[in-house]
């Protein structure tokens, strides 16, 4: 310890003076003049005073960080019991920080620039969730191949590789099958499909077409379900783009389900697009006009029905049923190829979240004993790439379904892109907020405001020094006067200051974060990295996909039977001649 560190202890004040006086009194009482005083009294006074002063002088040692940290933040003292989920170790004391399951279900939010520890924190939570037999959904917005392998290895280590389901539309050979529009009532399916359409709240004209599209999609889904037909994206695309397919569906319903409300609704919906006016054309649908009603829905669905996305999603018997997977505590890994296929990946992520929201509502309706226990963890990495406004609702109601939502983003602007209201609802409904190194001043300041202020003491020290001299001009003798004065003043005042400043948030190192728990408790934490031994990794080998035996179902098969729908693109049979006649009339 250097003298400079001793001087920083700032010995002074009533208690320090009393302790020094106790030491002095103990030494004084050892003098022969006080021989009548019991010998134990000087020892006691010296020991008490010395212990207090020693504690003050060496107090800086107590403030040294046990774990490496670039900032000096004192952590709160609770949350050190092994109840729930481990989030890391405090930098000042090295104690573990656990979030109990009761508050784990109140959700969390992870913020920080790329490469500073967000995914490491996610893997720490996911490893524990897999280890304790819980269900998990991991939406990976950057689709790192190493992350897929890591989750598989965690499952193998815990003996749960049979519970792993992988949804990887960028690489169908390493993916289970999935059809997010197959299950649910017509309104729920329509909501998922329309989630890929940009918000129209502030555009009345666009909102009119979106509502019309909603009506049309709801009608078509109800018709397919009434006909007892399974369907997929390419089937739906053909229905929206080919009049023969939709006329065939109407004819089937009229024969098999003549009194079903879905049959009447379909006929009423198609009636507004019927050509009419010429013999033999009364039931022909002007598909061009119908396309205008649906806008870009058909084109967006076409992306999911073709190419690699189609290989994963054009199925009538999917491996992944999200609701059943949550009930069975499955581990679901969703890889979004946002770098190479940004638009398709973002739209797919939005549709998956729509299906996820429906699944939560169904879980919410289950008896309490059938809901996930431990809570189902949902880690959404790079949320800004695929977030939709409707995701705010699970943050408000997910707790009742035993769901724990933990999204991660790089800046708060990623949430603002969805809408300012969305950001407010996500931030306002997350009990645990985790801040890694922040990359922008605006986000750092906003995060510091979220963490809050405290009352601090501002000290000031000022000194003055004055000298003066004077000599009377009329005196013959060299008489004069001189003077000097000096003074020091010390002042203290209370003021508000950040609990964690924006500069502290920008100075955090890799793997280091600030955890705000419950709105008022702050922890400075280092996050451990969970790795599997390389030898064990080799023994586990490459990823093996779990496929399941399916019950046969009757599918719409519009794509399989597409040859009979070819021959006229806009209007029905008759080709260009009839189309020309109609335009002339």
pLDDT in tens, 257-301: 999 999 999 988 888 888 765 555 566 888 788 877 777 787 788
Whether the per-residue pLDDT at 584 is higher than 50: the answer is no
Instruction: Give Cβ neighbours of residue 384 (< 8 Å, ≥ 6 apart).
Output: 141, 409, 410, 411, 413, 414, 415, 417
Long-range pairs of 227-230 with CB within 8 A, sequence gap ≥ 24:
227/252, 227/253, 227/256, 227/257, 228/554, 229/554, 229/555, 229/556, 230/182, 230/316, 230/317, 230/553, 230/554, 230/555, 230/556
| pLDDT at residue 191 in the model | 87
The domain ranges of the chain are: 3-62, 181-317+555-585
pLDDT of 378 > 50? The answer is: yes
Per-residue pLDDT at 71: 65
Q: At what angle do helices 204-226 and 287-294 cross, to 10 degrees?
A: 120
**What is the C-alpha R_g of the chain?**
36
Q: Which of 78-87, 131-140, 409-418, 563-572 has the highest mean pLDDT?
A: 131-140
pLDDT value for 505: 92
The residue written with tokens 């103990």 in the block is: 26
Is pLDDT at 59 greater than 60 in this prediction? no
Q: Is the pLDDT of residue 585 over 50?
A: no
Scan for tokens 């997929």, then name that residue: 232
- 551 burial (CB, 10 Å; 0-12 / 13-18 / 19+) is exposed
Q: Are 496 and 456 in contact (CB under 8 A)?
A: yes
Q: How many angstroms separate the CA atoms of 85 and 178, rounded?
A: 30
Identify the band that residue 583 occupies on the pLDDT scale cut at 50, 70 and 90. Answer: very low
pLDDT of residue 194: 84
Position 9 pLDDT exceeds 80: no
Residue 240: pLDDT band (50, 70, 90) is: confident
For the chain, give the mean pLDDT.
80
What is the band of 376 on the pLDDT scale with cuts at 50, 70, 90?
A: very high
CA distance 19 to 25: 10
Cα distances from 533 to residues 28, 123, 153, 539, in angstroms, run 66, 16, 10, 10
Q: How confident is the model at residue 474 (pLDDT cuts 50, 70, 90)?
A: low
Residue 3 has pLDDT above 60, yes or no: no
Residue 276: per-residue pLDDT: 65
- The predicted structure's pLDDT at residue 148: 87
CA distance 137 to 330: 8
Which of these, 196, 390, 380, 226, lies nearest to 295 by C-alpha position? 196
Residue 12's pLDDT band, with cuts at 50, 70 and 90, is low
Q: What are phi and psi of 36, to 5 degrees?
A: -75, -15
Across 324-328, 541-545, 574-578, the highest mean pLDDT is recorded for: 324-328
> pLDDT over 70 for what percent of the chain?
74
What was the pLDDT predicted at 1?
A: 43
Angle, helices 186-194 vs 342-364, to 10°: value is 150
Determine how many CB atoms are found less than 10 A away from the CB of residue 497: 12
Q: At what angle do helices 204-226 and 186-194 cross, to 10 degrees?
A: 140
pTM recorded for the entire structure: 0.76
């Amino acid at each position: 310890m250097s003298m400079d560190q001793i001087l920083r202890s700032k010995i002074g004040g009533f208690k320090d003076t009393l302790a020094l006086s106790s030491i002095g009194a103990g030494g004084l009482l050892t003098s022969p003049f006080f021989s009548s005083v019991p010998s134990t009294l000087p020892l006691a006074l010296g020991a008490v005073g010395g212990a207090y002063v020693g504690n003050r002088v060496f107090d800086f040692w107590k403030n040294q960080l046990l774990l490496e940290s670039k900032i000096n933040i004192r952590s709160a003292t609770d949350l050190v019991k092994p109840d729930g989920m481990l989030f890391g170790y405090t930098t000042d004391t090295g104690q573990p920080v656990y979030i109990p399951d009761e508050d784990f279900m109140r959700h969390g939010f992870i913020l920080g620039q790329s490469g500073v520890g967000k995914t490491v924190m996610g893997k720490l939570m996911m490893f524990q969730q897999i280890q304790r037999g819980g269900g998990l959904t991991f939406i990976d917005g950057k689709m790192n191949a190493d992350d897929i392998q890591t989750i598989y290895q965690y499952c193998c280590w815990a003996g749960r590789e049979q519970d792993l389901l992988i949804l990887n539309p960028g690489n169908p050979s390493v993916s289970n099958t999935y059809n997010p529009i197959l299950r649910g009532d017509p309104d729920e399916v329509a909501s998922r499909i329309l989630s890929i359409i940009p918000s129209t709240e502030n555009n009345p004209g666009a909102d009119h077409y979106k509502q019309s599209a909603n009506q049309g999609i709801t009608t078509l889904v109800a018709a397919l379900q009434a006909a007892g037909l399974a369907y997929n994206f390419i089937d739906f695309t053909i229905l929206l783009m080919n009049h023969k397919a939709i006329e065939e569906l109407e004819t089937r319903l009229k024969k098999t389900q003549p009194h079903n409300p879905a049959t009447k609704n379909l006929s009423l919906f198609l009636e507004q697009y019927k050509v009419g006016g010429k013999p033999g054309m009364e039931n022909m649908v002007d598909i061009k006009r119908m396309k205008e009603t649906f806008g870009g829905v058909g084109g967006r669905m076409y992306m999911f029905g073709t190419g690699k996305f189609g290989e994963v999603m054009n199925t009538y018997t999917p491996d992944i049923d999200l609701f059943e997977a949550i009930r069975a505590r499955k581990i679901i890994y969703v890889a979004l190829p946002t770098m190479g296929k940004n638009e398709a990946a973002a739209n797919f992520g939005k549709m998956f979240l729509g299906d996820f929201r429906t699944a939560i509502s169904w879980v919410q309706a289950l008896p309490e004993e059938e809901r996930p226990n431990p809570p189902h963890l949902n880690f959404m990495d790079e949320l800004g790439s695929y977030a939709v406004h409707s995701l705010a609702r699970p943050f408000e109601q997910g707790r009742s379904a035993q769901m724990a939502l933990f999204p991660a983003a790089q800046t708060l602007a990623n949430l603002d892109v969805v809408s300012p209201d969305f950001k407010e609802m996500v931030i306002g409904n997350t009990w645990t907020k985790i801040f890694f190194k922040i990359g922008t001043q605006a986000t750092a300041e906003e995060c510091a405001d979220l963490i809050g202020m405290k009352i601090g003491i501002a000290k000031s020290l000022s000194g003055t020094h004055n000298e003066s001299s004077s000599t009377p001009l009329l005196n013959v003798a060299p008489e004069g006067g001189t003077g000097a004065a000096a003074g020091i003043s010390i002042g203290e005042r209370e003021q508000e200051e950040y609990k964690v400043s924006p500069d502290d948030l920008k100075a955090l190192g890799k793997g280091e974060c600030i955890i705000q728990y419950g709105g008022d408790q702050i922890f400075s934490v280092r996050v451990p990295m969970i790795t599997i031994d390389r030898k064990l990794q080799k023994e586990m080998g490459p990823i093996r996909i779990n496929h399941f035996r399916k019950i046969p179902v009757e599918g719409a098969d519009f794509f399989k039977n597409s040859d009979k729908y070819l021959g006229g693109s806009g209007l029905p049979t008759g080709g260009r001649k009839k189309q020309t006649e109609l335009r002339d009339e």
